[in-house]
Structure 1
């Protein structure tokens, strides 16, 4: 059996040659269990040497291009769960909240079990399905065209409904956080809907793992000064955090 160093060298070599790998291929080639392969991939991702994807790994940043939500959810999944649990503290009893689209905010929906009634407004079908039968939660699903990659609605119908609403806290997922360019997402129609949601929320909270920093997506949502909180993981660059907090944004690092 290969040592951990030999396995990691082999994985990185194969990635350099092919650009991507799948877990069954690595299991056969290294003669180890799937659990071992997944641990190896996570360790290498933590060192920023590759990106985990659904069923394997890639050399390409999965946030640089638009990918299906069921593929993104396997990227930094542990960090997303910790971020979501930290975000729960910002929800008050009898609150009305909005949950946007994306895998990190979806983890918030999965972790949400309020003791008193709250209203959740969302464009994300996965969020609505997760919460629709949950005790003490009323769900308002925004209508409109469903975007296939994110399983979320966007467009004029969804934006029209928002004109009649207001909410306490918006939990937003993004694809990029850039000090100069602000918050971005890969889909332009969803960027427009996010802008509308920000305008009617009293508090805006961005849930984003550390890989989203210093990156840009296609559609700009807003400047950093327009949000109140960012909740991220402990791998975030401390210098970046300091610069963001100078803009008046509170950065919370989930432990």
Structure 2
């Protein structure tokens, strides 16, 4: 039976919801129409903001994240970030020397951090440094460098040079995107460069990311998932993603 445009669109969206993606070639064969027809279908659905076209396929939404000011990002997924922050605090051990990177998830971590004996924190985040400096039981080191106003954090060669002088037990890293194939990303290339140096300086890499970050990509690539030891996220993560992370040897904590 030949399907009309409305019927094809309905089935395309149904398959997209079930599988997480659709392929142009598969749809062409299944509906017995040309590749050109399917591309037109996907273009029409994309114009209605119902999907996002990418490399011969379509996915539910645009995976590329845009840069927002820290004040805006703080208002997103706040309950999830608080739970993630509390779970991250349980990882701390006496005499830990840790890096807290930048981003709203790690700022929330700083707010809920209960200091252990002999804790030293180095951070790129100005807000994190201010929060932790109020606690006399934490030694705080603020990285120097270029102030990135949108995230209230520092970046650049001065920051990277400072990092080379230290070694740390743990890195608590916030990201803008986690793609299972591409890895961790952020919206700023200089921040990505600094994050790479943080990874080199730390023994254990812990990512704090709410579930909205999965399937997303930022402009600057930080690293592949093979470099990550643990991800702390919320219950919104889907089973397929969680199982894939387990297969990659990553410890997944659901807060």
Tell me the TM-score normalized by structure 2.
0.74
Query: Aligned partners of 1:146, 1:139: CA distance in 2, in Å?
Result: 18
Query: Aligned partners of 1:245, 1:230: CA distance in 2, in Å?
Result: 10
Structure 1, gaps ≥5 residues long = 1-59
Instruction: Report the secondary structure of 1:231's partner residue.
Output: strand
Instruction: Report the secondary structure of 1:202's partner residue.
Output: strand
Query: Aligned partners of 1:90, 1:233: CA distance in 2, in Å?
Result: 16
Asked whether the equivalents of residues 231 and 251 of structure 1 are also in contact (C-alpha less than 8 Å), the reply is yes
Paired residues for 1:80-159 under 5 Å = 80-159=81-160
Query: Aligned partners of 2:116, 2:196: CA distance in 1, in Å?
Result: 30
In the TM superposition, residue 227 of structure 1 has moved relative to its aligned partner by 0.8
Asked whether the equivalents of residues 92 and 116 of structure 2 are also in contact (C-alpha less than 8 Å), the reply is no
Asked whether the equivalents of residues 89 and 114 of structure 2 are also in contact (C-alpha less than 8 Å), the reply is no
What residue in structure 1 maps to residue 65 of structure 2?
64
Cα offsets for 1:110-143 (capped at 9, x unmatched): 0112142310000100000001121310100000
Structure 1's 126 and 220: CA in aligned 2 closer, same or farther, altered over 3 A?
A: same
Query: Aligned partners of 1:102, 1:246: CA distance in 2, in Å?
Result: 27
Query: Aligned partners of 2:62, 2:154: CA distance in 1, in Å?
Result: 25
What residue in structure 2 maps to residue 222 of structure 1?
223
What residue in structure 1 maps to residue 201 of structure 2?
200
Decide which structure has the larger Cα Rg and report it.
2
What residue in structure 1 maps to residue 186 of structure 2?
185
**After the TM superposition, which of the residue ranges 110-119 and 161-170 deviates more from structure 2?**
110-119
Asked whether the equivalents of residues 62 and 72 of structure 1 are also in contact (C-alpha less than 8 Å), the reply is no
Query: Aligned partners of 1:205, 1:131: CA distance in 2, in Å?
Result: 19
Asked whether the equivalents of residues 93 and 116 of structure 2 are also in contact (C-alpha less than 8 Å), the reply is no
Ranges of 4+ aligned residues in structure 1 off by more than 6 Å:
60-63
Structure 2, gaps ≥5 residues long = 1-60
In the TM superposition, residue 63 of structure 1 has moved relative to its aligned partner by 7.6
Query: Aligned partners of 1:116, 1:65: CA distance in 2, in Å?
Result: 39
Tell me the TM-score normalized by structure 1.
0.74
Query: Aligned partners of 2:94, 2:239: CA distance in 1, in Å?
Result: 33
- CA RMSD, aligned part only? 1.7
In the TM superposition, residue 201 of structure 1 has moved relative to its aligned partner by 0.4
Query: Aligned partners of 2:62, 2:123: CA distance in 1, in Å?
Result: 27
Instruction: Report the secondary structure of 1:101's partner residue.
Output: coil
Query: Aligned partners of 1:61, 1:101: CA distance in 2, in Å?
Result: 24
Asked whether the equivalents of residues 110 and 131 of structure 2 are also in contact (C-alpha less than 8 Å), the reply is yes
Instruction: Report the secondary structure of 2:90's partner residue.
Output: helix
Query: Aligned partners of 1:69, 1:62: CA distance in 2, in Å?
Result: 20
Instruction: Report the secondary structure of 1:169's partner residue.
Output: strand
What residue in structure 1 maps to residue 169 of structure 2?
168
